[in-house]
């Protein structure tokens, strides 16, 4: 368990990636009580410097002894590295908040969104899992509705930005856009098809069921975070040519009837949610509204007239922020309290 201190030695693992740099910025913006910040990345990034509060901090290589003296480590270095290094860090007495998929469904590891299930942090054994970006923004909006009317079923379709894949995908969208506008053939490397001016109904690998791994992450993680296996979830996850900000169309069936106005009131009072819902004035959440913002934005709130107790929501959030870096830092903030 984390010892109570005034300031903490914090590490960011995968510091040079899109989420890692966002973690560093989030720690600074939220004024996390840091005594010393240490940065780690792959061998090819070792020796580079990154800025934190005007200081240049050198990026270090990972080693068996590098986590000694570190209190909290925020990992965003991929599942393979996390599988190896998170247990090493935990054995060194460090609490790991891991952003990869490696530990999320491990029954001994809590999967936490602070607005939804902070109580699960009480049983961590040194590793805490940060959920999938698309799951995080959805459950923040689902939680108050589940508490009020018990959610029975969720049907979600996502419209996910390329930054969810990383910097190379963002560069590829930029490059393909430039190539196509100059009447050249697009270079295809990161995704199986052209992403510029296109929509790909595939995120991650396909499973034998016909679902993708990303879709099943949303199904399984939602049940674990909400602490209710009875909630039925089905997902279709789609990559769209947007740089930053995931959007979701979410259809919810509840046990008890909720009107659209009741949903607006519940969400307006919910932590981490901004209701952005005046469609008659052209007001509804879009990725450009959420760039760099902490909250999950919800709009297009309306009753589903095809079922007895149905609600439709449109949910948008910055996937690098609340979908990754911010959620990890918020977990660390709850830990030090």
pLDDT digits (tens, 9 = 90+) for 34-68: 999 999 998 888 889 999 999 999 999 999 999 99
215 pLDDT exceeds 80?
A: yes
Give the number of other Cβ atoms within 10 Å of residue 132's Cβ: 28
66 among known catalytic residues? no
pLDDT tens digits, one per residue of 235-262: 999 999 999 999 999 999 999 999 999 9
SS3 136: helix
pLDDT tens digits, one per residue of 287-318: 999 999 999 999 999 999 999 999 999 999 99
- The label of the residue with tokens 């209710």 reads 228
Average pLDDT in the 81-88 region? 96
Kindly report the pTM of this predicted structure.
0.95
pLDDT tens digits, one per residue of 107-124: 999 999 999 999 999 999
Where exactly does CATH 3.30.360.10 map onto the chain? 135-319
1 pLDDT exceeds 80?
A: no
133 among known catalytic residues? yes
Tokens, residue 36: 């010393």
Q: Tell me which of 3.20.20.450, 3.30.9.10, 3.40.50.20, 3.40.50.720 is the CATH number of domain 8-130+324-336.
A: 3.40.50.720
Q: Which of 66, 124, 146, 246 is catalytic?
A: 246
Average pLDDT in the 212-234 region? 98
Q: Which of 66, 133, 146, 290 is catalytic?
A: 133
- Compute φ and ψ for 304, nearest 5 degrees: -85, 110
Rg of the Cα atoms in the chain: 20
Q: Please tell us whether the domain made up of 135-319 is placed in CATH 3.30.360.10.
A: yes
| Cα separation, 264 vs 270, whole angstroms | 10
Where exactly does CATH 3.40.50.720 map onto the chain? 8-130+324-336
């Amino acid at each position: 368990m984390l010892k109570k201190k005034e300031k903490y030695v914090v590490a960011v693992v995968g510091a040079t990636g899109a989420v890692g740099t966002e973690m560093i910025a989030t720690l600074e913006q939220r004024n996390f009580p840091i005594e010393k910040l240490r940065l780690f990345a792959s061998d090819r990034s070792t020796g580079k410097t990154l800025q934190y509060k005007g200081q240049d901090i050198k990026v270090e290589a990972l080693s068996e002894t590098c986590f000694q003296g570190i209190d909290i480590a925020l990992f965003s270095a991929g599942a393979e590295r996390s599988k190896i290094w998170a247990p090493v860090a935990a054995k060194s007495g460090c609490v790991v908040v891991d952003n990869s998929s490696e530990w999320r469904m491990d029954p001994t590891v809590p999967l936490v969104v602070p607005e939804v299930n902070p109580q699960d942090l009480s049983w961590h054994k040194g590793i805490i899992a940060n959920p999938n970006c698309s799951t995080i923004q959805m459950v923040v909006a689902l939680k108050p509705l589940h508490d009020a009317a018990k959610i029975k079923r969720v049907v979600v379709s996502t419209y996910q930005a390329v930054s969810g894949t990383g910097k190379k995908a963002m560069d590829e969208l930029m490059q393909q856009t430039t190539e196509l506008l100059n009447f050249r053939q697009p270079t295809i490397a990161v995704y199986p098809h052209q992403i510029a001016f296109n929509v790909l109904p595939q995120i991650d690998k396909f499973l034998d069921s016909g679902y993708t791994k990303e879709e099943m992450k949303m199904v399984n993680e939602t049940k674990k975070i909400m602490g209710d296996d009875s909630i039925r979830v089905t997902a279709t996850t789609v990559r769209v040519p947007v740089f930053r900000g995931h959007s979701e169309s979410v259809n919810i069936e509840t046990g008890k009837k909720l009107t659209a106005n009741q949903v607006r009131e519940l969400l307006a009072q919910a932590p981490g949610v901004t209701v952005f819902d005046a469609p008659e004035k052209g007001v509804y959440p879009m990725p450009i509204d959420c760039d760099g913002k902490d909250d999950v934005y919800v709009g297009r709130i309306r009753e589903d007239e095809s079922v007895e107790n149905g609600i439709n929501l449109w949910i948008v959030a910055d996937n690098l922020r609340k979908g990754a870096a911010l959620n990890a830092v918020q977990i660390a903030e709850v830990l030090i309290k």
